[in-house]
Amino acid sequence: MLVLGIESSCDETAAAVVEDGRFLRSNVISSQIDVHRKYGGVVPEIASRKHIEAIGPVILQALEDAKVTLDSIDGIAVTRGPGLVGSLLVGLSVAKAMAFAKGIPFVGVNHLEGHIAAIFLTEDPPDFPFISLVVSGGHTNIYLARGFQNFKVLGQTRDDAAGEAFDKAAKLLDIGYPGGVTIDRMARKGNPDWLRFPRALKNDLDFSFSGLKTSLVMNMKRREKPLDKSELHDLTASYQEAIVDVLVEKTLRAAEMCAVYRIVVCGGVAANSRLREKFFEAAAQKGVMLYFPPSVLCTDNAAMIAVVGEHFLTKGHKDALDLNAISKWPLDVVV
């Protein structure tokens, strides 16, 4: 089965063609980073307009790269939520129009399940069940994944997501956007033990990063002179270490509590080099099998959406043309 995936939940316009839910035929992503950089974050109205401009060419490029035409596509999978409603509606509207015009089925996909499903595009994916950490700009959740559409939330953020904590710190320090990429790069030259930032909620599997951000703000206010370059590297390394520590520790604790020793780490922050390094070190010590999608499949992409879509479509599921976008869509709740 050939599935065309479409993703437009935030600020990437993406399309991909995936065969049988396992083989990536094409993967095209149009980023809006340069557009939103001057604002230090995504502006929803601008994002929606840019999706409208990009989505046609991106889909055509994905079909061309896959060496297929729309007539060869068996079904369409599109992100329904969660995300920015204006952005979601662009992808959803195009998917419905194409499905109607060609008389093929389409299905709306949960973006979070898509992130988890990206692992099935790798050469040696895990079997269910496994523990999954979905960590991105908008989400930081730990799931027990028993199968498609079968997830149990074990832990989640009570305030900021990890990616959001990175972006807010970068904006405060005025070091560039997107914050996670910038901090990851700068932290490689710094000492992660230079400053001890707080690690919140040590006794459960939930996350909280708002206190970490406040600690950074207070630290900057107490300083009598600006940070020099070396100090900035040390500060970003120490801040990043606080985020990475809790992500690794709580995910491994969840695996031990559930007696499930396979872990999938996915979402945009899963591309962070320090997170990968510490996860592999800790997993080796605990005897846990660890799985990361390649970096290009960690950030928002349409290939992961197509994988989930293929699962639904092969089971005969399809959505009606009145399907609407959902801004908040918890993965363990059937809508």
Residue 335 lies in a domain: no
* Pair 62, 33 in one domain: yes
Nearest CA-CA partner of 238 in 274, 266, 276: 274
Predicted confidence (pLDDT) per residue in 7-29, tens digit: 999 999 999 999 999 999 999 99
Chain position carrying tokens 């129009």: 97
pLDDT tens, position by position, 31-74 = 999 999 988 889 999 999 999 999 999 999 999 999 999 999 99
Question: Does residue 168 share a domain with residue 272?
Answer: yes
The reply to whether 306 and 260 lie within a common domain is: no
What's the pLDDT score for residue 333? 59
* Structural domain harbouring 271: 127-292
Q: Are residues 133 and 239 in the same domain?
A: yes
* CA dihedral over 162, 164, 168, 171, signed as positive or negative: positive
Give the Cα-Cα-Cα angle 326, 328, 334 (nearest 5 degrees).
80
Closest CA to 25 of 61, 71, 78, 77: 61
pLDDT number for residue 38: 87
Are both 150 and 238 inside the same structural domain?
A: yes
Rounded average pLDDT over 188-209: 95
Q: How far is CA 196 from CA 13, 225, 247, in A?
A: 39, 20, 16
Nearest Cα neighbor of 235 from 279, 175, 177 is: 175
Task: Give the domain CATH number at 18.
Answer: 3.30.420.40
Q: Which are the contacts of 234, defined by CB distance < 8 A and separation ≥ 6?
A: 190, 191, 194, 195
Same domain, 30 and 82: yes
Q: How confident is the model at residue 106 (pLDDT cuts 50, 70, 90)?
A: very high
Shared domain check, 285 and 304 = no
Q: What percent of the chain has pLDDT over 70?
A: 99
Region 149-178: what's the mean pLDDT? 94
Q: Give domain status of residue 281, yes or no.
A: yes
Q: Are residues 168 and 282 in the same domain?
A: yes
Return the minimum-mean-pLDDT range out of 38-42, 137-141, 252-256: 38-42
**Distance (Å, rounded) from C-alpha 121 to C-alpha 33?**
25
pLDDT of residue 143: 97
Give me the count of residues in the chain: 335
Verify that 11 and 137 share a domain, yes or no: no
- Are residue 88 and residue 203 in the same domain, yes or no? no
Helix (H) / strand (E) element for 150: namely strand 150-156
pLDDT of residue 332: 76
